[in-house]
Every structure is written in C-alpha cells, then in structure tokens.
Structure 1
Amino acid sequence: MNNNILKLSLVTVRVLRVIFFVLAILLCFFFISHLLGIPLGIQYIWTDSGLSFNKEGEGIEQSFLHLTFSFAKNLIQILITLLLLSRAIKIIESIKHLKAFVSENILHFKKMGAFFIMLFLVDLISLLPANSGTMVHLEAKLLYPICALVCFLLSEIFTEGNRLYEENELTV
C-alpha cells in the first residue's frame, strides 16, 4: 500500500480509539471514586459533555440522579464512538488490501449509520441541575443524523460497487 492518506487515516483512527478507551477508563475511575467518597484533591462536576474541572472550593453538590445519568450518558457515548472507530478501522484495512467493495463493508456502513442514530438518541436528552432539583432538557443535534445519512448512502454506493465487482469476477 503506497497511499499515504490511507496510512495516515488508519493511524489517526487507531490513536483516536486508544484515546477514547483511556477516556472510558478515566470516566469510570472518577465515577467510582466519587461514589466511594475518595477525595482526589481536585474539584469537578459532571455534565452531559463530561467532567468539568473547577478551582479549589468551587465544587457544586450534585444529586445522585444527575451524577448517574451524566456518567451513563458519557460512557454510552464513548462506547458507541469506540464501536464506530472499530468499524472505520475495518473499512480502511479492507481498502488497504484492495477489497473495498466487499459485502462486509456494506454491513459496516449500515452499522455505523445505526450507531450515529444511537448517538443522536443518547444525546437528545440532558439533565440540568436546577434550583429545586433537576430539569430535563431536550436538544436535537443534527450532526448525528447527517452522519447516519452519509453512512447509509455510502452503504448503498458500496452495494452497487459490490454488485459490479461480482459481475466483473464472473466475467473474468
């Protein structure tokens, strides 16, 4: 394989997968240490976008519901992202071996589209701390459905490519 862009994309996706794996471990560590009451010497609060670190003495007391919901939401998002990255690695490796239009890639793109829909659904609902407790907040981010649409479109393109590839194999 002499394609430098393909090599770079493969390395990038693998590095991203390692980073997200480490993030998942750190997220679990912070959650467990918070539940067990282990002081870490830093102040932080849980948000739907992860941990937010504050200056000493500026910590916000959070309800168990908000803490657990934020942890679960963040962990699910990280795990789905790890699945997306694993599928991307499989597609890039098949292209590297000159087998782009195989039926496995069609399935990978369809699953990636489903993963983006799952990310959209997970990210749809947020819990925000309010004066009297917790407030439910709905926010639809259109990036995930657009990415899902692109993945489903690519699966259709690869389906046609697979059909032409198999026709070509029968002709030879």
Structure 2
Amino acid sequence: MKKNTLLTIAYFICKLINAVILVTIIMFTVFFIHFQIDKSAYQNWNFMDKGSSNSIISLESKIDYSQNSKTVSQQKPNFLNFSTLSLYFNYLKFTVSASLIFISLRLFGKVIASVKNRKTFEKINAFAFKRIGIYCFIIGIISSYDYYDFETQFKLTRISLNLTFYIIALIALVLSEIFKEGNKLKLESDLTI
C-alpha cells in the first residue's frame, strides 16, 4: 500500500473511534441522568466486579456488610444501592478518561493529517505528542483507582497499576522529542538553503 493510503486509513480509524467514544459518553451521560430520575428501572441490574486482571500490582480493600449483619439481604450488590459519592466518582472517572482519550485521538488525527500533507516536522506535531503523553499519563492515574460503595451491602476500594497507558505516554513523549529534533533540523536545513 502507498503511504497516503495507510495514512488515510489511519486517519479514518481515528475519526471512527472518536465518533464511537463521543456516542458512548453521550449514552453514558443519558444513562446517568436517567438513573438519577428513575432508579427503579435498574432494580434487576447486579454489580459484577471485573477485578484488576491486567494489573501487575493490585491492592484491594473489600468490605462485605451482608456477612456481618442478619438484617442485610445476602443478594449480590444492586445498582439501586449505589452510594451517591461512588456513583458520581465512577461517572466522573469514566467521562474524564473517555474525554482525554477522545482529545488524544483527535490530536493524533491532526498529526496524521499534517504528515499526509508533507508537513511532518512542524512544531505543532511535537507539541501534540507531548500533550498526548500527558493525557495518557493522567488516564493511567485515573484508571488506577476503583471505588464502589453499595449502601448496606458492599464496599470495594482498589488501587492497581496497569502499565498500558503509562507505556503509551512514554512512547508519545519520546515521539515528541523526536519530532522536536526533526523540527530543529528542518529549520537549520531551511536556513542553509
């Protein structure tokens, strides 16, 4: 395949993923608002903990109130019992992470477009990769903390270390430096001509 064809496909994929992320954020927000208005619609939804399977380090604090009290039902934690703090925390965690991924992909799409237009070593591309690296580092921090609190049933707090976003951040910061050096060489080349 030609270079421009690959860049066009990559640019299209970035746009497609961004559209999916935007629709997901909107749907999650509608769900969040509807949950606030009519909690009874979610009475059959049970909470299932995925765990921290992709993490290399995981510290977990789990309290199950149902085993300590005879008045609490022994059923699985239900979304109706989600504490307000935990509900807002998880909503903000999801929307901030998804928004930062959306912004990062948008910046990456702009870099692809500039490379396609043969403006590869522009200062703006180095700046874009630096911002992508910072955003991925923030996402890594945000995604490392889980907090679920179901009133009268169950409480789970977890700190885990998943290296995926940290590795992407490191790669983006290295690319930022490479593009910065490329920009310096391009400016020196332009001055000598």
Partner of 1:160: 181
Partner of 1:94: 114
Q: Secondary structure at the match of 1:3?
A: helix
Range that drifts further, 122-131 or 12-21: 122-131
For 1:9-48, list aligned pairs within 5 A: 9-37=10-38, 43-44=44-45
| Cα distance change of structure 1 residues 74 and 47 upon mapping to structure 2, 3 Å threshold | farther
Partner of 1:55: none
Partner of 1:149: 170
| Cα distance change of structure 1 residues 46 and 17 upon mapping to structure 2, 3 Å threshold | farther
Q: Secondary structure at the match of 1:100?
A: coil
Q: If the length of structure 2 is used for normalisation, what is the TM-score?
A: 0.76
Q: Deviations over 1:104-132 (max 9, x none)?
A: 00100100000011101111110134775
Looking at structure 2, the residues matched to 132 and 45 of structure 1 have their Cα atoms a distance apart, in angstroms, of 12
Range that drifts further, 100-109 or 128-137: 128-137
Across the aligned residues of Structure 1 and Structure 2, the Cα RMSD in angstroms comes to 2.5
**Any unmatched runs of 5+ in structure 1?**
50-57
Q: Deviations over 1:59-99 (max 9, x none)?
A: 81322222221111111111111111111111011101100
Q: Is residue 171 from structure 1 mapped to residue 192 from structure 2 by the alignment?
A: yes
Range that drifts further, 33-42 or 76-85: 33-42
Partner of 1:54: none
| Cα distance change of structure 1 residues 48 and 158 upon mapping to structure 2, 3 Å threshold | farther
For 1:126-137, list aligned pairs within 5 A: 126-129=146-149, 132-137=153-158
Looking at structure 1, the residues matched to 124 and 49 of structure 2 have their Cα atoms a distance apart, in angstroms, of 34
For 1:63-78, list aligned pairs within 5 A: 63-78=83-98
Partner of 2:124: 104
Partner of 1:140: 161
Question: Does structure 1 retain, via aligned residues, the 8 Å contact 2:148–2:157?
Answer: yes
Looking at structure 2, the residues matched to 124 and 74 of structure 1 have their Cα atoms a distance apart, in angstroms, of 12
Q: If the length of structure 1 is used for normalisation, what is the TM-score?
A: 0.85
Q: Secondary structure at the match of 2:120?
A: coil
Question: Does structure 1 retain, via aligned residues, the 8 Å contact 2:126–2:176?
Answer: yes
What letter corresponds to residue 114 of structure 1 in structure 2? I
Higher relative contact order (CA 8 A, sep 6+): 2
Partner of 2:61: none
Q: Report the Cα offset of residue 135 of structure 1.
A: 2.5
Looking at structure 1, the residues matched to 118 and 42 of structure 2 have their Cα atoms a distance apart, in angstroms, of 52
Count of aligned residue pairs for this structure pair: 164
Question: Does structure 1 retain, via aligned residues, the 8 Å contact 2:35–2:42?
Answer: no
**Any unmatched runs of 5+ in structure 2?**
51-75
Looking at structure 2, the residues matched to 44 and 34 of structure 1 have their Cα atoms a distance apart, in angstroms, of 12
Range that drifts further, 123-132 or 12-21: 123-132
- Tell me which structure has the larger Cα radius of gyration: 2
| Cα distance change of structure 1 residues 127 and 103 upon mapping to structure 2, 3 Å threshold | same
